[in-house]
Amino acid sequence: MKIDRNIAVFFGIALVIFIVIQVAISFELLTNFITLILLQAGVMAIVSLGLNLIYGFNGQFSLGQWGFYAIGAYTAADITYRFTNDNSAIALLVILFAVGFSGLGILLLNQLLGKVRSVDPLSAFTLYLLMTILAVVIAINAAIALDPAVSSLLQSLPADLALQIVFFLSVLLGGFVAAEISFLFGLPVLTLGSDYFGIATLGFTIIVKVLLDNSDTMLGFVEMKGARGMVGIPKITTWAWVSFFLLMTIVITRNLLHSSHGRALVSVREDEIAAKAMGINVAAFKNTAFVLGSFFAGIAGSLYAHINGFLHPETFNFIKSFDPMIIVVFGGLGSVTGTVLASFLWALILEIVLRLFLPQGFETWRFVIYPLLLLIMMLLKPKGLFGGFEFLYLRQMLPAIPERLKQKLVGKNQSSNPDVPSPQEAVQ
Amino acid sequence: MKSFLNNRTTTSSTFGLKLLQKGWLGKGFLILVGLAAIYRLGIALIADYTVFIQQIINGLQLGFVYALIALGYTMVYGIVRLINFAHGDVFMVGSFISFYCISRFRLHLWLQNLAPDLPSAFSLVVGALTVVLVAMVSCAFMAFVIERIAYKPLRNAPRISALITAIGVSFFLEYFGALQFVFTPNFITFQRPFDVFSWSFGSLGVLPVEFGKAPPPGSILFSNIFILIVAISLALLLILNYIVRKTKIGKAMRAVAYDKETARLMGINVDLIISVTFGIGASLAGAAGMLYAIAFPSIFFSMGIIPGLKAFVSAVLGGIGSIPGALVGALILGQTEVLSAAYISTPMRDAIAFSILIIVLLVRPTGIFGEPQREKA
């Protein structure tokens, strides 16, 4: 089997980086503090990649990423909390079934509504909402029926293995819950214009934060402890898990963008009307990007929940929801490489340099210097730190042109106008 | 074109299709939500109408403060399409400046010290107005400088860059204010320039009620704070209306908001007009900062975030870019917040306010007074 050189180089570099940092962590060359920052930077990279998909590639100005991050975090934390502290898989099962049933329902309804022309988005939303409520009710009953069997099955496994399995499932489920909520929310709201969509999603972030503040009294999740913060979540997230999910996110994003769906997605950003004229279902692609981006946010949230073992609604304040936006803009809109590098750089500057290397007496100046840096960077590089730069593997290629045609094209170009680059070069 | 495409399905449409295509299901859902709220408020009104009216008065007080802040958002958005997130922090600076004027420099007493013979009420009002004026002017100057340093170089950059810069400025104002030698990171008690005093309207007629004393049962309270806030806000709104509609600079502002390039061709100094717009918006925020601090006398370095956000929401609710819209949106938001805190759920107040924002946007995608979107972003 022949492996593309770019792919080999990319995965080779990724593996080397992973192993070097993993070795440094295992031999305790890095302090706990720096390890923690690295984990958080990785998580931030996943969130920002999700936002890059929504804003950078699809052009939807979303400030709701942080809300989906919070949803993922609390969902996953609830699953592992109940598993470790109550030895019950009830939360896992309820969410698994709820996600499964409502996912099936969404697919089914999507098929049905696809047959009707010009469905009003709000009506569709109402229909989906009713279906989701029904699915959740069924899921709760099914989960209660199956709980003893699954709990005893998980307990028969070695404790470590069972915890890792539950953790892995909880991360995925955190992502799926965020994705399904984003689907429901995005259905009516994505019809709004650019800025109004941003404001509505900002509202979503704030609503989620208020709900989390009152999670023990209003929502009835006693273990989340509302505004006091959730404690007792097992600390399972390791560098290996973070890099695994980060790599998966990068690969999924890359493969999506290199497919025809990805090109459709980008065309929606470039010009909605032109995209519509080319027969692209603009609403569906906006929703796809939004759901996938929120899925990544949910996964990142689930990983974040298991870093510190502590969650507080203040972490999910809307002020912080600008962080992924800042990272995406710094990395360069629509650049996967830029986003990943920028999130690590951002963590390095904000958490390490501005925490550890400020001169004596200036410790409180951290958040005075940070916005100044922000300002200077924006003034100097308004298009982002890495602009449109992409790592070779991630670079968008045009579909291969047959050799015969290529020579013809290149020859023509050279004869008529030597300045016009061939299509392959133009994209790079 | 659309109806032509739909022809085949609409001719054979059943009730179920109508539910979906004409949006009956969605509208029904919204109407149901609305009816639930109206039912709850109706019950409250019947149960005790004086409390209800009192809540509405409290809501008005809050709404007018929001309106002053919202105007800055709406004017800046209307002219440069920038969500100026630093505006809430300009508001914070306004309240700190008025705090320093009152507590350190005793500026509200200048007329009393100068001419002790004048009636004290008159000289106190003049003193308070002076403090408002100082806060307005200094905030306007600050916004002018901020605009020149942070936003002007990015006029032709992508809009998101200016937004990030606005967030940066917001952080800077907050955390620079939090430094020990600036505003300190502590909560500070705002000293009101006058004593709080109320009148109760009820079955016993109009009675004066001292601060901290219980009013007679079944009566409605008006405090001098309420009167001051409503009076100053209305006066500023009228002045703003005059500036925007009648003066040369207002005409230029409207022209720039409508079409920047053409305005430039007509000989308007676009950059100056944009700076002036920022300044006018910030001066209103400065006044709002003082009024808000009088109503809720505890000020701290990040106090601007939440009122700023609420004001922004009310600007969007009324249709961002529209000045009457900002007032209407702010009054609606003030009522929503107070009524939902009083009758639905206090901790969920913000969530309800934002749900209403989202619902209004779904029904009218550009807000209540907003014009349909001109540009495709």
Distance CA A166, CA A306 (A): 12
User: pTM of this prediction?
Assistant: 0.89
Alpha-carbon span B240 to B258, nearest angstrom = 18
Does residue A55 surpass a pLDDT of 80? Answer: yes
Instruction: Find residue A407's DSSP bridge partners.
Output: none
For residue B367, how far is the Cα from the chain centroid?
15
Secondary structure string (H, E, C) spanning A192-217: CCHHHHHHHHHHHHHHHHHHHHCCCC
pLDDT > 70? residue A51: yes
CA distance A326 to chain B (A): 6
pLDDT score recorded for residue B267: 92
pLDDT of B171: 93
Q: What's the DSSP call for residue B344?
A: I
Q: Are B214 and B221 in contact (CB under 8 A)?
A: no
Minimum CA–CA partner of A62 in chain B:
B160
- Continuous segment of H or E residues that includes residue A130: helix A121-156
pLDDT at B374: 52
Q: If we measure between CA atoms, which residue out of B62, B64, B82, B86 comes closest to residue B74? A: B82
CA dist A427 → A336, A385, A394, A423, B63 (Å): 16, 20, 13, 7, 53
Among the four given CATH numbers 1.10.10, 1.10.3470, 1.10.20, 2.60.120, the one describing domain B26-363: 1.10.3470
Q: What angle do CA A225, A230, A234 make, to 5 degrees?
A: 140
| Structure-block tokens of residue B328 | 């209407």
| CB–CB contact B316 A372 (8 Å) | no
d(CA A341, CA B254): 43
> How confident is the model at residue A96, as a pLDDT?
92
Contact predicate B109/B348, CB 8 Å = no
Q: Which two tokens stand for residue B151?
A: 């936003």
Angle between helices B224-246 and B248-258 (to 10 degrees): 80
How distant is the alpha carbon of residue A395 from its chain centre?
20
Token pair recorded at residue A65 = 């990423």
Output the six-digit token pair for B67. Answer: 């309106």
- The stretch A71-79 carries a mean pLDDT of 93
Residue A420 has pLDDT above 50, yes or no: no
Using only the alpha carbons of chain A, give its radius of gyration. 23
Measured distance CA(A116)–CA(A188) in Å, rounded: 17
Q: Is B197 buried (19+), middle (13-18) or exposed (0-12) by CB count in 10 A? A: middle
Other residues' Cβ atoms within 10 Å of the Cβ of residue B181: 5
Q: What ipTM did this prediction achieve?
A: 0.88
d(CA B272, CA B139): 17
From chain B, the residues in CB contact with A199 under 8 A are 312-313, 316, 357, 361
Paired tokens of A139: 């899921």
Which residue on chain A is closest to B7 by alpha carbon?
A: A117
Structure tokens given for A270? 């470039």
- The answer on pLDDT for A2 being more than 80 is no
Question: Does A229 score more than 80 pLDDT?
Answer: yes
Q: In the predicted model, what is the mean pLDDT of chain A?
A: 86
- For residue A204, give the nearest of A223, A228, A178 by alpha carbon: A178
Cα(A38)–Cα(A22) distance, integer angstroms? 11
Dist. CA A241–CA A239, nearest whole Å: 6
Between residues A390 and A38, the one the model is more confident about: A38
- B334-337 long-range Cβ contacts below 8 angstroms, 24+ apart: B334/B59, B334/B60, B334/B61, B334/B62, B334/B63, B334/B64, B334/B65, B334/B66, B335/B56, B335/B59, B335/B60, B335/B63, B336/B59, B337/B59, B337/B62, B337/B310
Strands (E), A250-360: 310-311
For A203, the closest of B21, B161, B354 (CB atoms) is B354
The confidence score (pLDDT) of residue A399 equals 57
Cβ of A116 within 8 Å of Cβ of B21? The answer is: yes
Interval A300-359: pLDDT, tens: 999 999 998 899 999 999 888 899 999 998 888 888 888 999 999 999 998 888 888 888
pLDDT value at residue B11: 44
- Do the Cβ atoms of B366 and A193 come within 8 Å? yes
> CB count, 10 Å around CB of A360?
5
Compute the count of residue pairs across chains A and B with CB atoms less than 8 Å apart. 175
Q: What is the pLDDT of residue B221?
A: 85
Residue listed under structure tokens 């952080």 = B171
Reading the block at residue B91, the tokens are 């508001």
Residues A95-121 have pLDDT tens digits of: 999 999 999 999 998 888 888 777 788
CA separation, residue B38 to residues B43, B76, B203, B344, B346 (Å): 9, 35, 28, 11, 17
B173 Cβ contact partners less than 8 Å away, ≥ 6 residues apart: B86, B89, B90, B92, B93, B304
Cβ-nearest to B171 among A55, A126, A367: A367
Which residues face B208 on adjacent strands? B199
Cα distance between residue A87 and residue A104, in whole Å? 29
Classified as helix, coil or strand, B179 is coil
Q: What is the chain B residue with the closest CA to A274?
A: B376
3-state class of B220 per DSSP? strand
- Given 3-state DSSP classes, what are the helix, strand and coil percentages for chain B, each rounded to the nearest 5? 70, 5, 25
Q: Among A175, A183, A207, which Cα is nearest to A304's? A: A175
So where are chain A's domains?
1-30, 31-396
Mind listing the pLDDT tens digit of every residue in chain B (377 residues)?
Answer: 444 444 444 444 577 777 777 778 888 888 898 899 889 889 988 888 888 899 999 999 999 999 999 999 999 998 888 888 899 999 999 999 999 999 988 888 888 888 888 888 888 888 889 999 999 999 999 999 999 999 998 888 888 888 889 999 999 999 999 998 888 889 999 988 888 888 888 777 788 887 777 777 778 888 888 999 999 999 999 999 999 999 999 999 999 998 899 999 999 999 999 999 999 999 999 999 999 999 999 999 989 999 999 999 999 889 888 888 999 999 999 999 999 998 888 888 889 989 988 988 888 888 888 776 654 43
- Separation CA A113–CA B52 (nearest Å): 45
Percent of chain A with pLDDT over 90: 45
Task: Compare all CA atoms of chain B with the CA of A114 and give the residue at the minimum distance.
Answer: B20
Contact A371 B168 (CB under 8 A): yes
Residue of A60, A197, A210, A326 to mutate, interface with B, max B Cβ within 10 Å: A210
CA separation for the pair A154, A146 (Å, rounded): 12
| Chain B neighbors of A322, CB-CB under 8 A | 164, 167
The mean-pLDDT minimum among A58-67, A232-241, B366-375 falls in B366-375
**Chain B closest CA to A274's CA: distance in Å?**
12
Domain ranges in chain B are: 26-363
pLDDT of residue A291: 95
Could you tell me if B208 and B182 are in contact, meaning their C-beta atoms sit under 8 angstroms apart? no
% of chain A surpassing 70 pLDDT: 91
* Interface mutation vs chain A, best among B354, B375, B376, most A CBs within 10 Å: B354
Residue carrying structure tokens 């004290």: B120
CATH architecture of the domain with residue range A31-396 = Orthogonal Bundle (1.10)
Name chain B contacts of A181, Cβ cutoff 8 Å: none
pLDDT tens for A250-263 read 999 989 988 889 88
Contact A232, A81 (CB under 8 A): yes
Of the candidates A116, A210, A366, the beta carbon closest to that of B350 is on: A210
